[in-house]
Amino acid sequence: MKPSMNMILKKYNLLILLLVFIVIASILSPNFLTVSNFFNLLQQASIPGIVALGMTLVIIIGGIDLSVGSVLAFSGMVASMIVLHFDGSYGGIIIGIIAALLVSFVMGLMTGILTSYFKLPDFIASLAMMEIARGAALLTTNGNPVFGLGERFNFIGGGFIGGRLAVSAIFWILLTVLVALILKYTVFGRSLYAIGGNKEAATLSGIKTRINYVATYIITALLAGFAGILTASWMSTGQPTAGTGAELDAIAASVIGGASLSGGIGSAFGTFGGVLLLQILTNIMNLVGLPSFYQRIAKGLIIIFALLLNKYVSKSKAK
């Protein structure tokens, strides 16, 4: 059977959209399609990409996590303060990273328990956690940034391999592949789709929904916390205001990447593409020098366009 135009569109809609964007961007600016800008883009997208990856998991299970930006900030503050305390030594960096991830783990655990065992709406539970984590991040230093973290700590979030490939981008790519494998080949991964698709049916078929819920929120918080460590490392500064609004970019990227806010649908590679798409948008508008206000309008319009296209394509998929 000859593959129809419609089938190609169905399977690769995001990829096609990305290609269209890249072509338009290349025409608009001679600086876009260069090797250095490609690596530049990868680095810029890596931290939001890791946050969005976690968001996708929560969206697949049918929830939402508004606390990721605040968890990112709190985790980054914890890591920076410990790294500074140990004068940026390797031991201090390891302790800092472990402590930051532990804090993120606890945050995710709390949101997970509130939403599953206490049945609070995801939206409200994570909103409360967003406030708590942001307050805690500000409280650590009374709102001051922590600086002077040293060259060693700078490597994981701000280092480059071969002078070009950002270490953070490598983390992003590896984590995306890892999450994609988990979603496709593990019982846990498949349970997420089952729960998000139909919670009652999933429970009846013997899936432990509550445990899965808690685990998902923990993974999402750990990814946000890791992104926080990378952010602090990248800027060589712990900023209590870091990640403000990061949850919204993560939700937008997940949905552009095909995830559905009603749960049950979403993919790691789709989100990878969604993050890249949003980053290319900002990048190209900066390269051609579009004034700031127009940038925001254009960004909103293109998000709408991408979503409409997704909707059209997924509708024809169902036929």
Partner 1 sequence: MKKKCLALLATAVMALTLAACGGNGNEPATDAEVNGGAMTEAGGDTFTIGFSNRSADTPFFANMTFIIEDYAAEKGIEVVAINANNDVEKQNRDIQDLLQRGIDVLIINPVNEEGPSAGIRAANDAGVPIITIDMNVASGADVWVGRDNYNMGYLVGNRLIELLGGIDATGTVLEIQGAAGSTTMMARRDGFNAAMESVPGLTIVQSAFSDFDRSRAIPATQDLIQAHGVDVVAIFAHNDDMALGAAQVVREQNIENVLVTGIDGLMEAVLAIQIGDYQVTASNDPVLLSHMAVDAAIALMNGEDVPDFIDAGTVIIDLYNVDDYADPDLDFATMVGN
Least spacing, CB of residue 244 vs partner 1, in Å: 5
Closest to partner 1 by CB, 44 vs 271, is: 44
Query: What's the chain's length in residues?
Result: 319
Residue 115's nearest CA partner among 175, 62, 171, 162 is 62
Least spacing, CB of residue 297 vs partner 1, in Å: 12
Residues engaged in binding partner 1 (CB under 8 A): 29, 31, 34, 36-37, 40, 43-44, 62, 64, 66, 70, 121, 123, 130-132, 134-135, 138, 142-145, 147-148, 158, 160, 231, 234-237, 239-242, 244-245, 248, 251, 260-263, 282-283, 285-289, 291-293, 295
Strand segments, DSSP code E, in 135-182 are: 146-147, 160-161, 165-166
Least spacing, CB of residue 38 vs partner 1, in Å: 10
Closest to partner 1 by CB, 32 vs 171, is: 32
Beta bridge partners of 121: none
Rounded to whole angstroms, the Cα distance separating 43 from 6 reads: 34
The residue with tokens 């929560």 is 58
Least spacing, CB of residue 34 vs partner 1, in Å: 8
Closest to partner 1 by CB, 29 vs 216, is: 29
Rounded to whole angstroms, the Cα distance separating 117 from 114 reads: 6
Least spacing, CB of residue 291 vs partner 1, in Å: 8
Closest to partner 1 by CB, 158 vs 180, is: 158
- Sorted by sequence, the CB contacts under 8 Å of residue 174 that are 6+ apart come out as none
- Sorted by sequence, the CB contacts under 8 Å of residue 147 that are 6+ apart come out as 236, 237, 238
A 10 A CB-CB count for 49 gives: 28
Closest to partner 1 by CB, 3 vs 162, is: 162
